[in-house]
Amino acid sequence: MNQTGWDEAVGFYLERLAAQRGLAANSVDSYSRDLAGFSRFCLARGIAPAALNAPALLDYLESLAERGLSAASQRRHLASIRGLVRELLERKILEQDPTIAIKLRPPSRPLPHTLGAGQIDSLIEAIDSSTPRGMRDRAMLELAYGSGLRVSELVNLRLSAVNLKAGVVVVFGKGNKERMVPIGKRARDALVSYLKNGRPDLLKERASNVLFVARAGRPMTRQAFFKNLRRWAAAVSGVDRIHPHALRHSFATHLLLGGADLRSVQEMLGHSDISTTQIYTHLTRTHLRRVHRTFHPRATLDKLDK
């Protein structure tokens, strides 16, 4: 098959992408670049569209890896080829789908960013809790870290959800699933201070059933919490680019480092699948390896030589 065969196959497919699926020009250009490289590869090896098979695809993917393309880029190229193959099958140019047997390693999940216990303390201590807003922000951070709440759960809490006497908070998570999470002493103390002195001042005699309120008694928003967190974090070395979810990640990691079992952490986080919680075990293993390398006399040769 000459160059025209691949040009026609790829060109027809790109036209359908633009016309029928309404893809933006940039997306079509991306498909075009991927498939141009693939068609050149096939031409150099004398492989016609009608003769495309799994070994040829594997050779192409191997060539991408040899060029240093990341796993994500390889998956993108394969996705472009799969689309072209569907086109060739529909037009009866191919009789069998050669991509069925092609399996790429699933993308690895990035490990969540966590803070050390000292960094958490510094972040919370940076908050000026002499003001009503500071009392609120400190209570929010203590509860977010102390109970592992999502930001959306935190800002949507109602007054009735908190039982300070029992030391628990009732949370409605994803899918409106209810769970009960303990409140630690520091979070409880911060909540007591906020409820007694901060919240009434923010409400200005207005009524609200929302736990955390902003000016004029309006409910706090996720965006406002993000903004306030960044403002407090800017004063703390090493946490100036913190993401609010890092508080939840730190909650889970510190529990596991302290010896908590995975099922209990899963329950408190509100994960429906324990595999979601297991990502934190990677963090604890990394920490333990670091501790071992740092303190065990036989962890490194350098230690032995000292």
Q: What values do phi and psi take at 179, rounded to 5?
A: -145, 155
Which pLDDT band, with edges at 50, 70 and 90, does 297 fall under? low
Which one is catalytic: 150, 188, 249, 254?
150
Residues of each domain in the chain carrying CATH 1.10.443.10: 117-294
d(CA 82, CA 94): 12
Asked if pLDDT for residue 199 goes beyond 90, the answer is yes
d(CA 109, CA 86): 29
Strand partners, 168: 163, 182
229 vs 66, residue with greater confidence: 229
Place of tokens 């080829």: 81
d(CA 166, CA 148): 18
Mean pLDDT of the chain: 85
Asked if pLDDT for residue 262 goes beyond 80, the answer is yes
d(CA 133, CA 139): 10
283 vs 203, residue with greater confidence: 203
With vertex at residue 115, the alpha carbon angle to CA 111 and CA 121, rounded to the nearest 5 degrees, is 165
- Inter-residue contact 142 to 182 (CB < 8 Å): no
Q: Catalytic residue at 45?
A: no
Q: Catalytic residue at 113?
A: no
Residues of each domain in the chain carrying CATH 1.10.150: 3-90
Give every strand in the sheet of 178-182, ordered side by side. 162-163, 168-172, 178-182
- Inter-residue contact 191 to 143 (CB < 8 Å): yes
Q: Catalytic residue at 287?
A: no
d(CA 291, CA 31): 47
Counting Cα atoms < 13 Å in the Cβ hemisphere of 201 gives 12
Q: Catalytic residue at 248?
A: yes
Asked if pLDDT for residue 305 goes beyond 60, the answer is no
Asked if pLDDT for residue 76 goes beyond 70, the answer is yes
- Inter-residue contact 279 to 108 (CB < 8 Å): no
Which one is catalytic: 136, 188, 199, 248?
248
Give me the architecture of the 3-90 domain, per CATH: Orthogonal Bundle (1.10)
CATH superfamily, with its number, for domain 117-294: Intergrase catalytic core (1.10.443.10)
Q: Catalytic residue at 31?
A: no
Q: CA torsion sign, 175 to 180 to 186 to 188?
A: positive
Query: Hey, what are 121's tokens?
Result: 């303390």
pTM: 0.60
Which one is catalytic: 13, 145, 194, 280?
280
pLDDT tens figures, 13-24: 888 887 776 677
Which one is catalytic: 186, 230, 245, 287?
245
Segment 228-243 mean pLDDT: 83
Which one is catalytic: 271, 292, 296, 306?
271
Q: Quote the pLDDT of residue 2.
A: 44
Nearest in space to 84 (alpha carbons), one of 2, 1, 8: 8
Which pLDDT band, with edges at 50, 70 and 90, does 239 fall under? confident
Asked if pLDDT for residue 4 goes beyond 70, the answer is no
Segment 243-260 mean pLDDT: 87
Segment 151-170 mean pLDDT: 94
Which one is catalytic: 33, 174, 241, 289?
174
Query: Which range among 70-74, 162-166, 235-239, 291-295 has the greatest average pLDDT?
Result: 162-166
Q: Catalytic residue at 77?
A: no
Which pLDDT band, with edges at 50, 70 and 90, does 301 fall under? very low
